[in-house]
A and B are shown apart, each in its own frame.
Chain A
Amino acid sequence: MKVLGELRFAFFLGCIMPNRYPGLEASVRRVFEKLGIELVDMKGASCCPAPGVVRSFKFDTWVALGARNLSIAEEMGLDIVTGCSGCYGTLRDIWYEHREKKEIRDKVDYYLSQIGKSFKGKIKVKHVLEVLHFDVGVEKLKEFIKKPLSNIKAAVHYGCHILKPSDKRPWKEGTEKPRFFDELVEVTGAKSINWKDKFMCCGAGGGVRSGALDVALHMTKEKIENAYASGADCIVNACSFCHLQFDTGQIEINKSYGTSFNMPIIYYTQLLGLAMGLSPEELGLHQNNVSVEPLLRKLGVN
Chain B
Amino acid sequence: MKSSLAHAKILVSEDDGNKAKGYRTSCDEELGSKIFEEKLRKFKKELNRNYESLIRTQIPYESLEEPITMADTKPLIASYPITLEQLNKKIPEVLKETGIEKCIQCGTCTGSCPSGRRTAFRTRVVIRKALLGLREDLLKSNDIWLCTTCYTCYERCPRKISIIEAIIALRNMAAAQGFMLPRHKEISKYLVSYGHLVPINEPNKKRRTELGLSEVPPTVHSHPEALEEVKKLLEVTGFTKLVG
Q: Mark A residues whose CB is within 8 Å of B.
A: 13, 15-16, 18-20, 22-23, 25-26, 29, 41-47, 49-61, 63-65, 68, 101, 103-104, 106-107, 110-111, 114-115, 117, 160-161, 163-166, 175-176, 197, 199-201, 203-208, 210-212, 215-216, 218-219, 222, 282, 284, 287
Q: Indicate whether B19 reaches chain A with its CB closer than 8 angstroms.
A: no
B148 CB–A CB distance under 8 Å: yes
Q: Is B184 interfacial (CB-CB < 8 Å)? A: yes
List of A residues within 8 angstroms of B219 by Cβ:
13, 18, 42, 44-46
Distance in angstroms from A185 CB to nearest chain B CB is 21
Please indicate the chain A residues that have their CB under 8 angstroms from the CB of B213 in the complex: 18, 22, 25-26, 29
Q: Can you name 30 A-B pairs with beta carbons within 8 Å?
A: A13-B219, A19-B198, A22-B211, A23-B207, A26-B211, A26-B212, A44-B222, A44-B223, A47-B191, A47-B195, A49-B197, A50-B197, A52-B148, A53-B188, A54-B197, A58-B172, A58-B237, A59-B82, A59-B172, A60-B237, A104-B78, A110-B74, A117-B229, A164-B154, A175-B155, A204-B148, A206-B147, A207-B184, A212-B142, A219-B115
Contact status A20-B72, CB under 8 Å: no
Residues of B with Cβ closer than 8 Å to A? 71-72, 74-82, 114-115, 118-119, 142, 145-152, 154-155, 164, 168-169, 171-172, 175, 180-181, 183-184, 187-188, 191, 195-201, 204, 207-208, 210-213, 217-220, 222-223, 225-227, 229-230, 232-234, 236-239, 242-243
Partner of B184, one of A55, A160, A165, A210: A210
State whether B168 touches A103 (Cβ < 8 A). Answer: no
Q: With a CB–CB cut-off of 8 A, which chain A residues contact B204?
A: 19-20, 22
Q: B225 contacts which chain A residues (CB < 8 A)?
A: 44
Distance in angstroms between the alpha carbons of A90 and B119 in the assembled complex: 27
Which of A60, A64, A104 counts the most chain B CB atoms within 10 A? A60
Is the Cβ of A60 less than 8 Å from the Cβ of B72?
A: yes
